[in-house]
Chains A and B, each alone.
Chain A
Amino acid sequence: MLNHLPSVALAEHPATTPEMQQAIEQYLYCEAQLLDNREFDQWFELLADDLHYYMPTRYNRTKRAAGQEFSSPHEAALFDEDKQSMSTRIRRLHTGMAWAEEPASRTRHMISNVQVHPTANSNEIEVDCCFMLYRSRLERDVDIFVGARRDLLRQADNELGWQIVKRAVALDQTTVLASNLSIFF
């Protein structure tokens, strides 16, 4: 369910080449691995300076009001971050006093249903995917987050060849069934 998220994908475009599909999938897996390995500083290096990392809130609506299922840009969001606020979040994790991550969560990002779409900028592509994020904490706490993601990736001079310019996350919950969102999606 991504059609509500703003898209810059070209309406009509040639099918992605198998090489491109493969390269982008590998990129997403590597990126997810950085998070699951808690290599947050390396992950941070993948974020563009003009980053927008966003997760709207979500509501139960009647069919008549279905257009309002997701919060609009100026309403309450679960995340609405720029590069600086992400840097604060990551610095916080390094303090050893971010109690909701001390001891740290065990996370596993499963990425699937990857669709690659060219945009009007030849060095940027839009990538849709689904994710399942398993988080286990302390003795026996478990949260499972499922949703969809729309990323805008830009070719970059970094180890993995791409950086994240935009990430919009549609979480498939209205009431968040976890005691916090102390992890990255």
Chain B
Amino acid sequence: MNNPATGTEFQPFSPDSPISNEQLASLVNSEQGKISPLIYQDEAIYQLELERLFGRSWLFLAHETQIPDTGDFFSTYMGEDPILVVRQADGSVAAFLNQCRHRGMKLCRADSGNAKAFTCSYHGWSYDIGGNLAQVPFEERAYGKVDPAEWSPTKVPRIEHYKGLIFGCFDKQVPDLETYLGDMKWYIDLFLDRAEGGTEVVGGMHKWVIPCNWKFAAEQFASDMYHAPVSHASPLIASMPPDMDLSQVGWPEEGRQFSAPEGHGTGFFFDTPEFLFPMLGEEAANYYVNTSAGEAIERLGDMRGRRMNGAHMTIFPTLSFLPGINTLRVWHPRGPNEVEVWAWTLVDKKAPDSVKDAYRKAVLRTFSSGGMLEQDDGENWTQIQKGLRGHQARNTTFNVQMGLGNDTHDFPDLPGKTNYVYGEMAARGLYNRWLEMMTAKDWSELTIPTGDEESGHA
């Protein structure tokens, strides 16, 4: 069985010998745009991802507006680790493992709410909202003393905020969040900073399960505009007036894709606001394209305020947005063969209530488990994943070559490395970063030198 990087026989992993960096490197060749599907399917690789990738990346925890008041908590995951995110009395945010230090019971089993303390339902150890052990039943007679400094839930040591989004990282060494975001910051402001006051979440969220590897979803939102005309033809046709057919609607052709050495990616069209109308309906689209555009242009300039439309984006590894359509989602990994999608709708805080409600409906009708566009994405990923049960299928190299050789740093008004909108540069960037994260000893090998946009190869 040939592997894409070396063309040589691939050495299968054995349970008692860890995967070597050479083996990992043989699975991803971002220079030639070749990927071994084993990265989507292998259990040992997945376990290593939980440790090296999810354990060392900045991961989205919650939006500020989900937990406005002291004691408000949101129950989430970092990789597969259950995490409680809690607003503190001083306005800061604490995050810690949702795991009792006595025997590991899940401390809190509600999805969200408000708490004064978290009391374990097994033997009653109790923790304050900062995640510090506060009370142990029969402590004096049964233990003498249980030291809270030693026996509190594992804290998420790094927590930082960016324009309404709260991130956490388990690796103390990780560079600060803004450095980690790199040039991607400029692009995500298109979503998070169009209006004074920033964004808020529409209450509630969507959670559903797709039997596919998390990377299919993350990669598509980073890099794949190419699928839209085929995968999403049906909702477009269905929302056209009955006397029109597909031949009368050209899919947009002008746009760019951006790839960050940190693994993030985005792609967008230029000057195609009309596409938002059939997708979102009149009220939400009109707000985005007309009502709010003046302020957006003032804050962000003409390129981001007006010209970039229909953007897809992923913050490496698992946070994705569709600015304009206003969905934000996390792809929580659940083994190599399953992802849990957690999706929210974001709106400008200052938008009129009727626009917020129009967005709420527009997103649930397009991008949710019942959404008319989202359904088809899941179908693709699910069927790919099923095929990878086959030995031949999972050892057949995938083609990630679109736009190879066309990267440029000189596209006017766009920072960083860009390429044509229908391309796979950002996918190659994502997999290259995946490999770097999977093989690096620690963050000293991962930090991108500032001023140097090119990423090295592991």
On A, residues with C-beta under 8 Å from B are 55, 57, 59-62, 64-65, 68, 71-72, 74-81, 85, 88-89, 91-92, 94-95, 97-101, 174-182
Are B376 and A76 interface neighbours, CB within 8 A? no
Instruction: List 20 contacting pairs A-B, 8 Å CB cutoff, sorted by A.
Output: A60-B109, A60-B110, A61-B113, A62-B110, A64-B113, A65-B110, A74-B357, A76-B202, A76-B204, A76-B206, A76-B345, A78-B364, A78-B369, A80-B364, A80-B365, A95-B237, A176-B207, A179-B208, A179-B369, A179-B378
Q: Are B369 and A100 in contact (CB under 8 A)?
A: no
Digitize B89-117: 1 where CB-to-A-CB distance is under 8 Å, 0 elsewhere.
00000000000000000000111111000
Which of A80, A99, A176, A181 interacts with B234 by CB under 8 Å? A99
Contact call A91/B238, Cβ cutoff below 8 A: yes
Q: Are the CB atoms of A178 and B208 closer together than 8 Å?
A: yes
- Given A176-B209, A176-B369, A179-B208: A99 touches B376 (CB 8 Å cut-off): yes
> B273 on the interface (CB 8 Å rule)?
no
State A92–B111 Cα separation when bound (angstroms).
Answer: 34
Q: Which residue of A lies closest to B205 (CB)?
A: A76
B210 proximity list for chain A (CB < 8 A): 179
**Chain A residues positioned under 8 Å from B239 (CB to CB):** 88
Q: Which residue of B345, B357, B379 has the most chain A CB atoms within 10 A of its CB atom?
A: B379
Decide yes or no: A174 and B375 within 8 Å by CB, A75-B202, A99-B234, A99-B380 being known contacts: no
For A68, the closest partner residue in chain B by CB is: B113
**Minimum CB distance partner of A101 in chain B:** B375
Q: How many residues of B contact A (CB 8 A)?
A: 43
User: Do residues B382 and A179 form an inter-chain contact, with CB atoms below 8 A?
Assistant: yes
In whole Å, how far is A183's beta carbon from the nearest beta carbon of chain B?
Answer: 9
A76-B204, A175-B207 are known contacts; what are 20 more A-B pairs with Cβ within 8 Å?
A: A55-B370, A57-B204, A57-B206, A59-B110, A72-B203, A75-B202, A76-B345, A76-B360, A80-B365, A85-B365, A89-B238, A92-B238, A95-B233, A97-B234, A97-B237, A99-B380, A101-B375, A177-B209, A179-B379, A180-B374
- Min CB distance A51 to B, Å, is 14
B59 at the interface (CB under 8 A from A): no
Report the separation of the CA atoms of residues A100 and B380 in the bound assembly, to the nearest whole angstrom. 9
Q: Which residue from B345, B357, B375, B382 sits with its C-beta under 8 Å from A98?
A: B375
Taken together as a complex, chains A and B put the C-alpha atoms of A89 and B366 apart, in Å, by 10
Given A92-B237, A175-B209, decide whether A180 and B110 contact each other with a Cβ distance below 8 A.
no
Partner of B206, one of A60, A72, A78, A179: A78
Give the contacting residue for B360; candidates A60, A75, A97, A98; CB below 8 A.
A75
